[in-house]
Each structure stands twice: as C-alpha cells, then as structure tokens.
Amino acid sequence: MWRVFTYLRYYPKYILLCLLFDILSVLFNLSSFVFIVPFVELLFGGTEMATPHQFSLNQRDMSAWLEWQLHQWSDAHGIFFCLTAIALAFLLCSLLSNLFRFLSLWSLSPIRNGVVERLRNDIFHKITILPVAFFKRQRTGDILSRMSNDIADIEWSIVSSLQSFLKSPVNIIVFSATLIFISPMLFLYFLLVVPVLLFLVGAVGKSLKRNSIKGQNKLGAVFSIIEENIAGIRTVKAFEMEKVQNRRFVEAIGDYTRRMNHVVTLRELSSPLSELLGTIAMAAILIIGGSYVIGGHMNASVFILFVIIFARLIPPVQAMVRAYSSMLKGNASAKRVMEILAADEVIEEAPDAVVVESFESEITYKDVEFSYQDDEEMTVLSHINLVVPKGKVVALVGHSGSGKTTLVDLLPRFYDPTAGAILLDGVDLRKLNIGSLRRLVSVVSQDCILFNDTVANNIAFGNTTASLDDIRKAAKLACADDFISELTDGYNTVIGDRGLTLSGGQRQRISIARALLKDAPILILDEATAALDNESEKQVQAALQTLMENRTTIVIAHRLSTIKGADVIHVLDHGTIVESGSHDELLARNGAYAKLLSPQL
C-alpha cells in the first residue's frame, strides 16, 4: 500500500498547493464560527456588564476583551448594525472557506489521476519485460483482473483517500488546537474516547484486509473462467458444455459476491462505530460543559462555540476512519498489483552487456540443462550439446513434450539455462545485450500472433520504420500480397482480434512477411505449418523457402516435407538428444527417427 504513496513524490507542487488551500479553507471556516460568540452576546445582552479589559492570549481574558470591544462598538453604531456586520463577515468567511476548499480539490485532481496513470504505465511496462516463465505460472484472467479491477480499486480506495489524508489532519489539528485553547479539560474528555475508537477500527480493519484479499483472488478466478471461455468458445459449443461452464461461472461469481458482501459490511461498520463514539463524546461534553456554565466557570456563548467547533471536529475524524477502512480494502488490491511490480526479472542483463551487431559463425549449445524454477526436480533439458553453423538448416524432431520448443526458446533468452551455456560466435548469451540479441532472431510459430490492427502494421511489427513499399515487398515474398490486395481496404484493413478474420494460412503468411521485413539472420520455425491444410501448406512452404534463403534456420516440425531437406536433424526424447544426422543417415539407422516418421513413409 505504501508503495502506491511513493508516487506522490512526482507531484510536490500540487501537494503543497493542496495543503495551503486546505489550511486557508479551515482557518476561514473556523473564523466564520468565531463570529457566533458576538452574535449570541448581542442577541442575549451579554455585553451590558462589559468592563474595560486588556487583551491577553488566554481564553478568559480574550473573551472579556472581545465583550468589551463589542460593547463599545454596539454603543457607537447600534446593535442592528453590529448584527448585520457580523452576519456579513460570517458570510465572507464562509465564501472564502468554500473557495479554498474548491481550489484544494482542484489541485488534488492531477495527483489522483497522475498516480493512477503512472501505476498503470509501470504495471504494463513490467508485464512486457517479465520473463515468459512468469506467464506460465499465472492465469491470464487473474493478470487481467489485477490490471483492471485491482487498479480501479486502488484508484477509489487508496488514491481517493488522499483528500481525507491531506485535508482531515489540517482540520483536526486546527479545530483541536482551538478546543484546547477554549477549554483543555473539556477536550480531554473527548480524547478518552479516541483509544477505544482506534481499537475497534483496527480490529475491523484487519478482518477487512483479510477478506478483501480473498475477494480479489476470487475475482481473478472469475476473470480466468471468462478468458478461458472466450478463447475456447468453439470447443465449449462443440462439446455442448455451455451449461457446465455457466454453472462454473455462477459458482465462482457467487463465491465472489458472498465474500464482497462481507467486505462491504465490514467497511461500512467503521462509520457507525465512529458516529456512535462521537455522539457519546458529545453527550458527555454537553453534560460536563453545561455544569461549567452553571457553575460560572465558562460563558454560555463560549460553550456554544466549543460545542459547534467540536461538532465540526467529528466529521474529519470520521473521514479519517472511513479513509483508513477504505485503504485497508484497497491494500488487498495494492498487494496483488505490487506482486507483479515486485516479480523477479529472472532474465537480467549484465551491467557490462555487449551489443552484438551481427552473427558471424555458429551457435553452440554447451552441456545445457534446463528446469522451470517452480519445479526444479522436473528436468526439461539435460546435457544438450549441439552446433548450429551459420547458413545451415538444423531440424529438431521428437514426440510432444520432448523439449524442442524449450530448446529454441533459450536462444532469444526467453529463459536462461539452469546449467551449461549457449554461445553466439563464442560469447555466452548472458554477456550480450538482450535487445541486440533478439534483433538477430526472427520467430515464426504455429500459433502466429497477430494484433487487432491493420495488415501493414502487423507486418511492420518488428520494423516500425519500414515504408509501405518495403511492407508490400515482404508480403510478395511471403506469397501474401494477392490476398491482402483483395481485402476491403488492402494493407489498411483492420484484421480483428488475433487476426481471426483471416484464414490460418493467411495469418501464417502475414507472420512470415513480418519475419522477412525484420530481416534477422537467425530464423526459428516452430511447427509453422502444423495447423494448415495441404493447399495452405504448399503456399506457406513456398513462402518459408524464400524466408530461409541466406539465413541460419532452426526448424521444429513433425512433417517429413518440412525436415527432410535439413542439413542436420537432432532427435530429442525426454529432454536429451538421442540421434543426430541427415535425413538419409537417420533412416538408415532405423532408430528413433525412423519410428517417428514411419506413419508418413
């Protein structure tokens, strides 16, 4: 929670303005109530017995001096004139108080909105730089919930409390100082209630925080169900699972609703508690203060002023209590958001990282091992040793789950090996600048990712400075220009979420055009034609052949047509390389490779 408030350091000017306007607003508000004393004195004849008195900074002497001055003024100008002047002064103070209150809220707006803006920017930036492994452990729906609902909750629960935490303390300090000046003993009775209030609010707050965290986690589960059903809507319909999925959602949203009902109950409980204790304190002050007036220890008009100011002290105290309760609820959301901001950037760049400009000779996997951090006992890759010479085509084959994709994901440093090293031209990848390394690598995968943008912008995703002519040239080489030209707006056609307005082959060819435009010397093809029909595969294969020219290529595939032309084929099984050689050599051995391809031969 407190990390959210560190964002306030960007707005010192607005904070100072807000505090200044709050102080002026409170002072003019207090001044308006001070005029009630002479008003009451004039109405009830409190100045008839006034005698000359010297001004002194204590309550009794100051009251006597004001009574004497008021008597002199009323004799000179008349009581009605004095009442009118006091009423106008009261009105002026009230106007100025509300003006500065407005200015305080005005100066607070850039702080509130700016803090939320910076928080959202930081969260999105963090998500873009976190390693791929982070997203394997986290549900997409839960991440979306943290970025939307949790940040919105922070905005309304914590950031909106800034007003109370900036203004209420000023009110409490000024009004408390005034009450102490009027009667320290009466104010002491109010202080006796404060520890009880703090204890009750603290007890409610702990329960509120605990239940809020549970509630936000349940909301994350709800978002996960929504995300899964949208992504897999065809599967849901194909297997007639609408009712089952609907029941899952109803149960999840029901759990969340019940938890949030409890949270709201706890949050709203703090206000009646503070109200009740404030009323008890007020009742005690009326009884004790009334006895002071009856005993002649305090003027009735001064006591009335004390009661009015005390009544004005209770709202800011209640506002602080409500703000504290609201912050405790928001703290649950802040904790979930800060878990993302605090997540380890496992793929770290060395302080003296070398910027690599080109690829010259070979890629070497040297006794590489890998296991995911959350399951170190399960080894994904074990003792991988292979060389990928520049300009050659290296194929990786094996059963699903044998570690092929993980092996190539280590090259652009989506992950780092848990043992061993990967060398680019003899230099450990961990010593290279990450950005410059990734500029040398293009990836075309089975699940080609396109964005809800124009065709041109999708092709230029890795080269944002490319001209339309460059984009069109890459599309022609990828055998994509013909179908793009037939779209409604050609290269300016928006292709929808994940490019689903296009066929699988069309999406794949746009993905290939993107890799061509990037023009990286190292190419990774991860099952690039696995999901295509025969006709689409022929078109994509032609585009891939163009893409592979004069590039170092690592191919992951199961289809014979894709891998038989590779210079070297490595067969993986349970994370280790069990066979290596050319297509003909491996078939002649009649080993693991031959068994994999036997259905296609």
- Please list, in sequence order, all residues whose beta carbon lies within 8 angstroms of the beta carbon of residue 381, skipping any fewer than 6 positions away: 368, 369, 370, 371, 403, 406, 407, 410, 417, 575, 576
Q: What tokens does 190 get?
A: 């109010």
536-543 average pLDDT score: 71
Mean pLDDT, range 49-75, rounded to an integer: 58
Q: How far apart are CA 144 and CA 123, in angstroms?
A: 11
Confidence label for 421 from pLDDT (cuts 50, 70 and 90): very high
Report whether 47 contacts 70 (CB < 8 A).
yes
pLDDT tens, residue by residue, 325-377: 677 667 777 777 887 887 776 677 888 889 998 899 999 999 999 987 655 55
Nearest to 175, CA basis, from 288, 16, 27, 324:
27
Segment 291-328, tens digit of pLDDT: 877 877 777 777 777 777 887 777 787 777 777 767 76
321 touches 205 (CB < 8 A): no
Following DSSP, what letter does each residue of 480-504 receive, concatenated?
-HHHHHTSTTGGG-B--GGGTTS-H
Domains and CATH numbers, the chain: 2-11+112-341 (1.20.1560.10), 347-440+551-601 (3.40.50.300)
pLDDT, tens only, 488-532: 888 999 887 777 788 878 888 888 888 888 888 998 888 776 656
Does pLDDT of 459 surpass 70? Answer: yes
Q: Output the six-digit token pair for 595.
A: 């068994």
Q: What is the pLDDT of residue 396?
A: 92
Q: What is the mean pLDDT of the chain?
A: 78
| pLDDT for residue 47 | 44
Report which of 312, 303, 348, 439 is spatially closest to residue 30, judged by C-alpha positions. Answer: 312
Average pLDDT, integer, range 229-238: 70
pLDDT top residue among 352 and 203: 352
Amino acid making up residue 130: L
Mean pLDDT for the stretch of residues 159-179: 77
Helices (H), 35-78: 36-43, 59-77
